[in-house]
Structure 1
Amino acid sequence: MMRAYEEILRVVDLETTGLEPPAAEIIELGFYDVRQTQGGEWVVDEDTFGQALFGCERPCPPEVLAVHHILPWEIKDRPRFQARTAEDWMESKAYGRAADVYVAHNSKFEQAFLPGFRALDGSTPAKWICTYKAALRIWPEAPAHTNQVLLYWLGLHNETEEDLRHPPHRALPDAYVTAHILCCLLRKATVAELLQWTVEPPLMPTCPIGKFRGKPWTEVDAGFLSWMLAQPTMETDLKWNAQRELDRRAGR
C-alpha cells in the first residue's frame, strides 16, 4: 500500500573496487529511503530499502577487499552495474516512487560513480545531499565526522537496530546509519540548506595547517589567513575557509 509522504530522500551507499571510476567499479549498492510524513517529521522508512551486488571486469585489490570483504565468488557471474537499471530497481522497491534527492555520506564519492542518476523530472544530474558536509556545519564539535563516529557520538547506537547497522563498510548497513544521521540533521536544518552546503566546500571546524593547526578560525591571525590566500598551491577548500573567515570579520 502506498504510504503518505511529502518528500523522499534516498540514502545510497556504494562499495567499489577502488576509489576512482572508471578504473574502479561498483560492486554493491545499498539504499534506505528517508521520508517526510504529512506531519512534517523526517523518518527512516524501514520498509523501503534494498541491497544488490554487481560483477566487475577487474579483480578487487586486496587492500580494498580488506575494507568491505566482498569476496570474488560472491559477485562471480553477476551483471555489471548500470545506473538506469539500478534506479529502476530502487523505485520498484519504493512503491514506484522516484527520489526527490539522493543522499550519501561524503557524497562526492557516490556522485563520481553515479553521474547518470536522474533528478525527479528525469533530467541529469540528480540533486544530492552530503551528510558529511552538513555534519561539519551542524556539529563542528564532534570528535570526527565519519558516519560510524557520528553513530556513537549522537547516541544513535541506542536508538537503532544493531543487526541492521552491521557489518560496517557494507553498503546496506552504512546506508542505514547515514539515513539516521540525516534525520538528526533535518531536525537542525532544512533540505534547502543541506543542498546548498553540499555544493559548497566543506566548512572545516578548525585550521588544519601551520602554527594555527587545530585552532578555531576565529583565533587564526588575519595575516596568516591572507598568506593562505596568496599561496598558488594552497588547496581550494582551505582558501575558501580562510576567505570565509576574513569575510566574517569584515561583516560580509
Structure 2
Amino acid sequence: MSIRRIRVIDLETSGDAATDVCEIGWQDVVSIEGGPWQVNDERGALFVNPGRPITPETMAIHHILDAFVADAPFWRDIAPTVLQPQDGVIALAAHRAAFEQRYCTPRLTGGAPWICTWKSALRVWPKLEGFSNQMLRYQRMPEGLVHEIGLPAHRAMPDAYVTAHHLRDMLNETSAEQLIAWSKLPGLLPRVRSGPERGKAWEQISLDALDELARDRDIDTRFSAEQELKRRGEATPQAPKPKAQQSLF
C-alpha cells in the first residue's frame, strides 16, 4: 500500500536556546494510494526535559510545570523518534514553521523539507481576515475537527491537531510540492499589515508607497511589495545605503 505522510509538529518551549523544548506534539496527514489527504489517528505528545527551569513567561502560556518534565527525556534523545518516524515522511509541517525549525534542526529531522501552514494559508485563502492557527480554525471551521481534541490551545498535540486540518484542506486544493516551494519564500501578505497603508490590498497602494514598503525592515512586507511592483512591471528599488552616523535600534 502506497502512503504519503506529512507529520505536523508543534512545540512548547521554555526559552530561546536550542534545547529549550518542554513538549512536542504531532499529528499525521496522509494520502493513501493517491487518494484525498486526510487527518488520521497518528497523533501524540511527549514532555521533554529542557535541562533548566521553565520560565514564568512561557509557563503562563502553556502551563507546563517543571514537575511535569523532571523525568522526561532530553530533546536530543526524543526528537528524532518523533521527527523521523519509521515509515518516513515526505515533509514536516508547522504553523509559522520558522519557530519549530529553530529547534528541529536538519540533524534531528533527517533533512526533511518543511511546509509552513501560515505562509501557505496566505496563498490559498488570501481573503480571510486573519491567519493565526486559531483564527483559521474558527473562520474556516474545518470538517471533521473534533473541538475537544483541539483543546487546550497552546499545548503541543491540540495545536498540531488543529494545524493538520488546515494542512489537509490545503493539500486537497494544491500539491505538497507547491506548499513546500511557497514555504521556502517569505510570506506573501494579502494586505499591508502596518503603517499608514495598513489594511489595504497591494493593488490599492500608490507606486511611491510601494517603493517605501519594498524597503521595509519586515521581510514579508518587503517581499509582498516587491511582488506587486513586479506585477506592475516596475523595478524593485534598491535598499538605501546606511548613513555614516546612522543610529542603531
Please indicate, yes or no, whether the TM-score normalized by the shorter chain is above 0.5.
yes
Asked if 1:98 is matched to 2:60, the reply is no
Q: 1:171-193 deviations in whole A, cap 9, x for unaligned?
A: 01111111111011112211111
CA distance in 1, matches of 2:179, 2:83: 23
Shift of 1:101: 0.5
- Is the 1:5–1:35 contact (alpha carbons within 8 Å) kept by the matching residues of 2? no
Partner of 1:14: helix, strand, or coil?
Answer: strand
Question: Could you tell me which amino acid in structure 2 is paired with residue 237 of structure 1?
Answer: D
Match of 1:215 among 193, 200, 207: 200
CA distance in 2, matches of 1:174, 1:42: 19
Shift of 1:76: 1.3
Match of 1:151 among 120, 125, 137: 137
TM-score, normalised via structure 1 length: 0.86
Aligned residues: percent identity? 34
Unaligned runs of 5+ in 1: none
CA distance in 2, matches of 1:89, 1:111: 14
- Which residue does the alignment assign to 1:21? 17
Asked if 1:44 is matched to 2:39, the reply is yes
Question: Could you tell me which amino acid in structure 2 is paired with residue 178 of structure 1?
Answer: T
Q: 1:192-221 deviations in whole A, cap 9, x for unaligned?
A: 110011010001111123332211000000
- Which residue does the alignment assign to 2:228? 245
- Is the 1:103–1:128 contact (alpha carbons within 8 Å) kept by the matching residues of 2? yes
CA distance in 1, matches of 2:63, 2:45: 15
**Ranges of 4+ aligned residues in structure 1 off by more than 6 Å:** none
Q: 1:56-87 deviations in whole A, cap 9, x for unaligned?
A: 2221121211111111111113221116x432
- Which residue does the alignment assign to 2:126? 140
CA distance in 1, matches of 2:180, 2:147: 30
Q: 1:89 to 1:222 in 2, by over 3 A?
A: closer
- Is the 2:76–2:108 contact (alpha carbons within 8 Å) kept by the matching residues of 1? no
RMSD: 2.0
Shift of 1:98: 1.5
Match of 2:47 among 42, 53, 65: 53
- Which residue does the alignment assign to 2:61? 67
Unaligned runs of 5+ in 2: 236-249
Shift of 1:88: 2.6
Q: 1:30-69 deviations in whole A, cap 9, x for unaligned?
A: 11111111142101111x2221101122211212111111
- Which residue does the alignment assign to 1:129? 115
Asked if 1:76 is matched to 2:70, the reply is yes
Partner of 2:181: helix, strand, or coil?
Answer: helix
Q: 1:113 to 1:175 in 2, by over 3 A?
A: same
- How many equivalent pairs are there? 234
